[in-house]
Amino acid sequence: MKKIILIIAAIAMAMSLNSCQDKKTESPRAKYIFLMIGDGMGASHVAVAESYLSAKAGKIGGEQLTMTQFPYYGTCTTHCLDKTITCSAASGTAIASGQKTLYSRLGCDADFNRLESMAFPLKEEGYKIGIMSSVPITHATPAAFYASTPDRGDGYGIMKQIPDSGFDFFGGSGFEDMFGKDGQQLGADKYLEQHGYEVCFGPEEFLAAADTCERIVFCQQKSKAEDAKAYVSEEADAEDITLAEMLQLAIDYLGDEEPFFIMCEGGDIDWESHSSYTMPMIEKVISFDNAIAVAYEFYKAHPEETLIVVTADHETGGVAIGQGESWSNTFIDWIKIEEEWEKNKEKYLQDSKANREFNEASHIGWTTSYHTGGAVPVYSIGKGAEKFMGRIDNADIKGKILGK
Ligand SMILES: [Zn+2]
C-alpha cells in the first residue's frame, strides 16, 4: 500500500512539474515588445542610407544599419480596402487593429465602428503601454494605437482620446491643433493635465516629474510655443532630444518589472520623402535606426523575453538608387553629394526644381511626391520574431504580436 501511495505521489508530482513547464513554454508572447514603424520607409530608403554609410566608411557597400542585422527578414503588403496606395491612417489602423479599412480612416472601419488597437488587450493583460513618434503624438500612425475618429485631421479631438486610453507613456514633438482648429480651445497640455496626465516639455521637466506621476506625456521643448503652428516639429532643433533618447526615456520610465509594449515611430522619414529631400531622408532613417539600436541594447539584456519588429506603414516617394541617365556602372559619390547639399541646402529646400536637379545629379530617383504601393520591409529579432519572416500583410501584424 505504501508503495502504491508513493508511486501515485511521484506521478502527481511529475504531472504538476509538467504542467508548470507547459505554462512556462505556453506564454504566447514576449514580455517586452517593441514595434518600430518607419513612416514611409521602403526597402530603398534603407538601401540609400546604407549606401551613404558605406561611402562614409570609405566603401561602396557593406555598411549596415542596426535593423538589417536582425536575423529575420520579410516583406509586408500595405494596400487598404479601397486603394492600392494607402495612407498612414488606414495602414496604421491595419497594423494596430489587424483589420484593413478605407483610405484615410483612423481607428475605425468603413461604417465608422471602432477598431481596437492591440495596445488595449495588452494593457488589459497588465502590459505598460508607450506610444511615441518623432512627429506630433496626434499624427495618424501613433493615433492609430489609441484613437478612433472619422477625421484624421482633427488633432484636438484625437488628443482628447489620450486619457480614455489610460496608456502610461506618450512621447512626440508635440500636438497638432494645440488650441483646437479655431485656436480657442483649452491648450492640449492643460486639457491632459486636467485628465490625469503629467505633460512635460523637454527632458528636464520629464525627469523632474517621472518618479512621482503615473501617466506622462513627453513633448519636445519647442512645442511649448504658444504659436499654434510652431509646435509641429519638422526638424529637431538644438533643444530637442532625438528619437533614440526619447525611447530611452520611455524604457526607463516604464521599467522592466512589468511587461511593456512600445510603439515607436520614425514619422519624419515620410515627411522628408514627400519633398524628395534625399539627404534629410537619410538623416531621418539613421535617426530612426538609432532608436532601433536603443531597443536592441534592451534586447541584449533580456534576449529571451524581448521582441523587436521593425516595419513601415507604406513607402513614400518611390525612391531609388539610380534614375534617368544613370547607367549600371554609375558610382554614387556620397561624399560629394553631401558636401554639395551642405553648401547649398537652403536653395534646395526652398526651390523644388533645384532639388530635382540635385537629385538627378546625385543619381537618386524619386518617382512621386506621394506614397507608393510597394511592399515594405520587416526586420525582426527576439521571441516570436520568426513569425514575421516571408511575405506578410500589415493586417497580420497584430495577430503575430499577440501570439494568436
Ligand atoms: Zn505620407
- Say whether pLDDT at 16 is over 60: no
CATH number, position 303: 3.40.720.10
Distance 273 CA to ligand 1 centre (A): 8
Q: Is residue 349 part of a domain?
A: no
Q: Is residue 18 part of a domain?
A: no
Distance 39 CA to ligand 1 centre (A): 7
Residue type, 241: I
CA 212, 164, 131, 396 dihedral sign is: positive
CB of 239 closer than 8 Å to CB of 220: yes
Distance 331 CA to ligand 1 centre (A): 30
Q: Is residue 137 part of a domain?
A: yes
Angstrom distance (rounded) from CA 128 to CA 142: 16
Closest by Cα among 153, 265, 253 to 200: 253
Q: Is residue 138 part of a domain?
A: yes
Distance 318 CA to ligand 1 centre (A): 12
What pTM was estimated for this model as a whole? Answer: 0.91
Give the H/E segment covering residue 397.
helix 397-402
Predicted pLDDT at 326: 67
Angstrom distance (rounded) from CA 106 to CA 112: 9
Q: Is residue 104 part of a domain?
A: yes
Distance 271 CA to ligand 1 centre (A): 6
Count of domains observed in the chain: 1
- Write the pLDDT tens digit of every residue in 328-365: 778 899 999 999 999 999 999 999 999 999 999 999 99
Q: Residue 319: beta bridge partners?
A: 366
Angstrom distance (rounded) from CA 58 to CA 61: 9
**Mean pLDDT score, 87-112:** 96
Distance 79 CA to ligand 1 centre (A): 14
Distance 27 CA to ligand 1 centre (A): 37
In sequence order, which residues have a C-beta less than 8 Å from that of residue 144 and are 6 or more positions away? 88, 89, 92, 93, 95, 96, 97, 106, 107, 117
CA atoms within 13 A on the CB side of 264: 28
Predicted pLDDT at 223: 72
Distance 358 CA to ligand 1 centre (A): 22
Q: Is residue 336 part of a domain?
A: no
Predicted pLDDT at 174: 87
Surface-to-core class of residue 404, CB atoms within 10 Å of its CB (0-12 exposed, 13-18 middle, 19+ buried):
exposed
- Write the pLDDT tens digit of every residue in 135-185: 999 999 999 999 999 888 899 999 999 999 999 999 998 888 888 888 889
Distance 182 CA to ligand 1 centre (A): 25
Q: Residue 226: pLDDT band by 50, 70, 90 thresholds?
A: low
Phi-psi region of 339 (alpha: psi -120 to 50; beta: other; left: phi over 0): alpha
Q: Is residue 28 part of a domain?
A: no
Distance 371 CA to ligand 1 centre (A): 6
- Write the pLDDT tens digit of every residue in 242-301: 999 999 999 999 999 999 999 999 999 999 999 999 999 999 999 999 999 999 999 999
Distance 277 CA to ligand 1 centre (A): 14
Predicted pLDDT at 328: 73
Distance 282 CA to ligand 1 centre (A): 16
Predicted pLDDT at 19: 46
DSSP per-residue letters across 26-67: H--S-SEEEEEEETT--HHHHHHHHHHHHHHTTSSS----SG
- Write the pLDDT tens digit of every residue in 67-98: 999 999 999 999 999 999 999 999 999 999 99
What is the domain range of residue 271? 34-318+367-402
